[in-house]
Structure 1
Amino acid sequence: MKIILISLDTLRASRLGAYGYNKPTSPHMDRIAREGVLFERAYAADIPTEVAHTGVFTGKIGLTTGVVSHGSELTALPKSTAWLPSLLRSAGFTTSAVDNLYQLKEWFARGYRYYINSVGGNRWIDGKTINELAFPWLEQHKDDSFFLFLHYWDAHTPYLPPQELIPQFYDVGRDPRDPANRSMEQAYNHLAYPFFKHHHYDLIGAVTDSDYYDALYDAEIRYLDDRLKELDDRLEALGIREDTLLVLFGDHGESLTEHDIYWDHCGLYEPTVHVPVIMRWPGRMPEGRRVPGFVQQVDLLPTILEAVRREQPADIRSEKLQDPDGLDGKSLWPAIEGTADRTHDTVYLSECAWQAARAIRTDRYKLIRTYDSGPYIRPARELYDLQTDPGETVNLADSLPELADRLERELLDFVSRKLSGREDPMERQLREAGLPFRRRIEQILDSAGLSWDDWKRDPRRERFDSAVHNR
């Protein structure tokens, strides 16, 4: 038995054809969805990258593990916490990863016999590099029962797709630097501009049309899709495609100007928390099934463990792969086989990086409670009716206070139950160190001779760039 778990970093569900997008970003991922199972409403309980992946590999949300903050020096994951690669290796799987999350926290290398660190000289990683590192390993271990984790970063900023892909998503007759187009001004004059200046803007050039950035994101997804086709073709050539459980997931999505978030992944809004999850296992899973109800990333661990128990490979000690205690995730197999349409009736969401907030998402409503808005302007409470307002544009918290109060109580009760008397790790983070990215904010502004309060009074691109130049 072979298992390939693929993280598609920063991939927003609504930008894939299989999720309804009308541009050709994902022909091969769409094909995988037709050959397997697609989960229409999959959610990242914790964002961004560090906390999302910790949830995938533990089957537990951040309130259970204590890992709720991205990039925090206060965070640690006990070695006693059950970890998917470790569980599979102890049962006899050959475990490997092509990944660079070890650069973020040491626990991401746990459980692997082979950890191929994909980090390079640049912050971003090309999917071509992932394949170049993974393909020789697949060749060497094609006869093993293996677990392979692949982490593709192509949809993450900076958006630098091959130039030949861009015309599929941006009209060749349109000038992205047209001085008459003023759609980039809000991004350039936003409080967050200094923190994203280099990767978001300097590497792209003096663009005036915000649609061009969206097109670059789409082109990156198409580039990623081509790399996934190369992977699938290699599995076919090695004769192991039919024996491989393939699992694709987004760790979080991306906001493309919504809610004053410019090509980044903060905020508990749908563009960032609604992620793709697609599975294919020829002959063991139905083809073309679409699961309509809520599922979460933490459901992947118990689903994979159950898959192994069902398959019972001769060289694997499947009896060792019982579900660990205290999981928040639930097996997706009932939904895969059509005896259920979801694993969760309500989704609880959390972030602590650029902002600190929690949210509750029901079939119809979402309530967001913000504790620290960082370089953004947010009300303390936001309530959206996603049935009538899927874009989350009309905040109903003041006009429907009783509903907002009820949902907030449900959210607080959930947090209390999960903590079970333990200290809230988000409260500790904000009390002892502030937002995890606070130091980055302070360092960047300090380099320009600006204070945070000073910048908030007058955030203008020209002002910041001039301050940097004069320093």
Structure 2
Amino acid sequence: MGAGGVRRRRRCARSRRRPRGWFLERLPQGPGPLLVQAGAAVIAVGLAVVVWRALGGAETRGRVFTRPGRTGVGVLLLAVVWGGASRLVPVAQYPPPPARPAAPAGAPNVVLIVVDTLRADHLSCYGYTGIRTPHIDRLAGDGLRYANTFSQASWTRPSIATILSGLYPSSHGAIHKADILPDRVDTLAENLQRFGYRTVGFADNANISQAFNFQQGFDEYRYLAPTFFFLANEPAAQLALYSGLRLIRERFLSHRVDVHHYYQPAEVVTAEVTAWLAHGAERQPFFLFIHYMDAHDPYMVHPFNGEGYARVANPNPPPAVAERYRQLYDGGIAYLDEHVGALFDTLRARNLYDRSLVVLTADHGEEFQEHGGWWHGTTLYDEQIHVPLLVKPPGNSVAGRVIEELATSLDIAPTIVAAAGAPVPGTFQGHVLPLDDGRPSARQSVFSEEDFEGNVLQAVRTKEWKLITANSDNPRGLPPEALFDVVTDPRESSNVRAAQPAAAEILRAELGRSAIEARAHGGASQQGGSDAATQERLRALGYVN
């Protein structure tokens, strides 16, 4: 399906901070719009009943969902009428961004690509043989590949908040499901904006949408929202009726999986970015943040044929399907690679690729029963936190270098700010990675943390050892403390804490020091009242029940 055939909603946010929970399409603020939606729903239900009866529904009472054709027509009419009436909700407008100083001549454009749920060990440039990723491999060949990069959390919101802030989760505060990125956080986009950059973001996951305040510092921030079932629009999804209709659809009408109901696929994201480049690239330098979702569940058959497997439909699949899911996951990565390659071709055609700093990374990985579980956000084992980091400097001056030193998601923001020529804030907790032949400052360890769905975890890793601690009542059933020799046991399969007491003691001390450092710039967390539409999008991706 071509990008031109997909109807998409766009969200844009101007650079100034906005009151929590505001969108370009404002949610209902008073009883008037809600009454309009409720009235539309009542009318639509009535019309649907009339049509259903006309088609013979009255004769099938007691087995209403055994005839999808009649029911489907009624539900479709309900959705069309309901969705049309609810479009009466007003649209909020925002003023243009304030004037800013011009960036210095020669400041490079910056393209930051974050792929949701992409494991480093599933890219061919990292040695994987299951699939080929030639376009991402070419990016690695044009620049630097960091072999040992680890994220600071294993689910999207805290991890991407770290990428965009240069702060540990304990410092930026976007840790729990209700947390937003606080106004107090000075983001990468804000730093570049103050330095004269035009800042533009494309987000493909509700976790980093305007609902959670991730638009901070962006002149334009577009959340490429998935479509709702039954042609419903966003205000319609505020009604509890939508959840019931969604359940009917999934259980009785169709078992086909449409990727557009979960996220927008790479073809759409690349098309949106390409369309922006056609006019936006005239104003340089720019900072372009691009987020892709194609490695995330549902794991889809490619080319798309309606077969897919989503966490929301089956949170605990049997271990026997792990290999099948892994193959579909790989297919999503190969599909992503194709469309990332199309983006790179556009940059080259516009003479932007060589003149830009291009960074590709991931927020976290994914588990396929390596430690008896699924998905992400539940452990700090390497399959969930070992991420790719590819950095192509302007001019491709260090083509093909591989850096073995430890690196983190924390390092991305300070590295980009330094490459732009802007002053690096002292609040950033990461290191500036050199973009020439220099070696990065040696890290003794990397630290990750998690507080998600009852799993309160911390991990510290050196190049030889890794220690993971967990709360005693964690639902995942992880041991309170586990030590791994990652040189001889890279899959973290054997807990050697009892056999290596000296190493365990050293790692405990390092973990304690790192945990204190992680909280060094902490402040009050900030919660947001995300709307029903955002909750529905998070539910589709398995983030809420």
Q: Same fold (TM over 0.5)?
A: yes
Does residue 58 of the first structure (1) align with residue 165 of the second (2)?
Answer: yes
Q: How does 1:36-115 map to 2 (within 5 A)?
A: 36-67=143-174, 69-71=175-177, 73=178, 75-99=179-203, 100=205, 101-103=207-209, 105-115=211-221
Q: How does 1:280-429 map to 2 (within 5 A)?
A: 280-283=392-395, 285-309=397-421, 321-333=422-434, 336-354=435-453, 355-371=455-471, 374-419=474-519
Q: 1:453 aligns to what?
A: none
Instruction: Give the number of aligned pairs.
Output: 385
Q: CA deviation at 1:164?
A: 8.0
Q: 1:150 aligns to what?
A: 290
Quick check: 1:294–1:342 contact (8 Å CA) kept in 2?
no
Structure 1's 423 and 410: CA in aligned 2 closer, same or farther, altered over 3 A? farther
Structure 1's 105 and 94: CA in aligned 2 closer, same or farther, altered over 3 A? same
Structure 1's 212 and 76: CA in aligned 2 closer, same or farther, altered over 3 A? closer
Structure 1's 45 and 394: CA in aligned 2 closer, same or farther, altered over 3 A? same
Q: 2:240 aligns to what?
A: none
Q: CA deviation at 1:208?
A: 5.2
Q: CA deviation at 1:442?
A: 13
TM-score by length of 1: 0.75
Instruction: Provide the rounded CA distance (Å) in 1 between the counterparts of 2:544 and 2:212.
Output: 25
- Secondary structure, counterpart of 1:242 in structure 2: coil
1:431-455 deviations in Å (ceiling 9; x for gaps): xxxxxx9xx99995xxxxxxxxxxx
Instruction: Provide the rounded CA distance (Å) in 1 between the counterparts of 2:266 and 2:343.
Output: 10
- Secondary structure, counterpart of 2:186 in structure 1: coil
Instruction: Provide the rounded CA distance (Å) in 2 between the counterparts of 1:301 and 1:268.
Output: 22
Structure 1's 276 and 418: CA in aligned 2 closer, same or farther, altered over 3 A? closer
Structure 1's 77 and 228: CA in aligned 2 closer, same or farther, altered over 3 A? closer
Q: CA deviation at 1:147?
A: 0.8
Structure 1's 258 and 249: CA in aligned 2 closer, same or farther, altered over 3 A? same
The more displaced of 102-111 and 8-17 is 102-111
Structure 1's 394 and 8: CA in aligned 2 closer, same or farther, altered over 3 A? same
Specify the structure having the higher radius of gyration (Cα).
Answer: 2
Q: CA deviation at 1:279?
A: 1.4
Instruction: Provide the rounded CA distance (Å) in 1 between the counterparts of 2:436 and 2:215.
Output: 33
Q: 1:252 aligns to what?
A: 364
Instruction: Provide the rounded CA distance (Å) in 2 between the counterparts of 1:134 and 1:98.
Output: 8
Q: CA deviation at 1:416?
A: 2.9
The more displaced of 348-357 and 373-382 is 373-382
- Counterpart of 2:339, as a letter, is R
Instruction: Provide the rounded CA distance (Å) in 2 between the counterparts of 1:414 and 1:135.
Output: 41
Instruction: Provide the rounded CA distance (Å) in 1 between the counterparts of 2:185 and 2:520.
Output: 17
Q: 1:138 aligns to what?
A: 277
Instruction: Provide the rounded CA distance (Å) in 1 between the counterparts of 2:210 and 2:475.
Output: 23
Quick check: 2:142–2:396 contact (8 Å CA) kept in 1?
no
Q: CA deviation at 1:292?
A: 0.7
- Counterpart of 1:412, as a letter, is G
Instruction: Provide the rounded CA distance (Å) in 2 between the counterparts of 1:239 and 1:442.
Output: 40
Instruction: Provide the rounded CA distance (Å) in 2 between the counterparts of 1:305 and 1:222.
Output: 31
Q: 1:10 aligns to what?
A: 117
Please list every run of 5 or more consecutive structure 2 residues that lacks an aligned counterpart in the other structure.
Answer: 1-107, 228-260, 526-537
Quick check: 1:97–1:149 contact (8 Å CA) kept in 2?
yes
- Counterpart of 1:130, as a letter, is V
Q: CA deviation at 1:197?
A: 5.1
Instruction: Provide the rounded CA distance (Å) in 2 between the counterparts of 1:84 and 1:12.
Output: 24
- Counterpart of 2:514, as a letter, is F
Q: 2:531 aligns to what?
A: none
Quick check: 1:10–1:265 contact (8 Å CA) kept in 2?
no
Q: CA deviation at 1:414?
A: 2.6
Structure 1's 212 and 135: CA in aligned 2 closer, same or farther, altered over 3 A? same
- Work out which of the residue numbers 264, 269, 275 in structure 1 matches 2:387: 275
Structure 1's 410 and 201: CA in aligned 2 closer, same or farther, altered over 3 A? closer
Instruction: Provide the rounded CA distance (Å) in 2 between the counterparts of 1:12 and 1:254.
Output: 7
Does residue 198 of the first structure (1) align with residue 198 of the second (2)?
Answer: no
Quick check: 1:256–1:264 contact (8 Å CA) kept in 2?
no
Does residue 116 of the first structure (1) align with residue 222 of the second (2)?
Answer: yes
Instruction: Provide the rounded CA distance (Å) in 2 between the counterparts of 1:414 and 1:6.
Output: 28
Taking only aligned residues, the RMSD between alpha carbons, in angstroms, comes to 3.0
- Secondary structure, counterpart of 2:193 in structure 1: helix
- Counterpart of 2:381, as a letter, is Y
Instruction: Provide the rounded CA distance (Å) in 2 between the counterparts of 1:421 and 1:18.
Output: 36
- Secondary structure, counterpart of 1:260 in structure 2: coil
Q: 1:262 aligns to what?
A: 374
Instruction: Provide the rounded CA distance (Å) in 1 between the counterparts of 2:492 and 2:430.
Output: 27
TM-score by length of 2: 0.65
Instruction: Provide the rounded CA distance (Å) in 2 between the counterparts of 1:150 and 1:201.
Output: 31
Quick check: 1:348–1:361 contact (8 Å CA) kept in 2?
yes
Q: CA deviation at 1:159?
A: 0.7
Instruction: Provide the rounded CA distance (Å) in 2 between the counterparts of 1:70 and 1:123.
Output: 21
- Counterpart of 2:444, as a letter, is D
Quick check: 2:111–2:357 contact (8 Å CA) kept in 1?
yes
Instruction: Provide the rounded CA distance (Å) in 2 between the counterparts of 1:417 and 1:10.
Output: 26
Quick check: 1:116–1:133 contact (8 Å CA) kept in 2?
no
Instruction: Provide the rounded CA distance (Å) in 2 between the counterparts of 1:322 and 1:201.
Output: 47
Structure 1's 164 and 424: CA in aligned 2 closer, same or farther, altered over 3 A? closer
Instruction: Provide the rounded CA distance (Å) in 2 between the counterparts of 1:424 and 1:29.
Output: 39
- Secondary structure, counterpart of 2:494 in structure 1: coil
- Counterpart of 1:324, as a letter, is P
Does residue 127 of the first structure (1) align with residue 266 of the second (2)?
Answer: yes
Please list every run of 5 or more consecutive structure 1 residues that lacks an aligned counterpart in the other structure.
Answer: 166-175, 177-192, 310-320, 426-436, 445-471
Instruction: Provide the rounded CA distance (Å) in 2 between the counterparts of 1:251 and 1:116.
Output: 19
Instruction: Provide the rounded CA distance (Å) in 1 between the counterparts of 2:336 and 2:473.
Output: 32
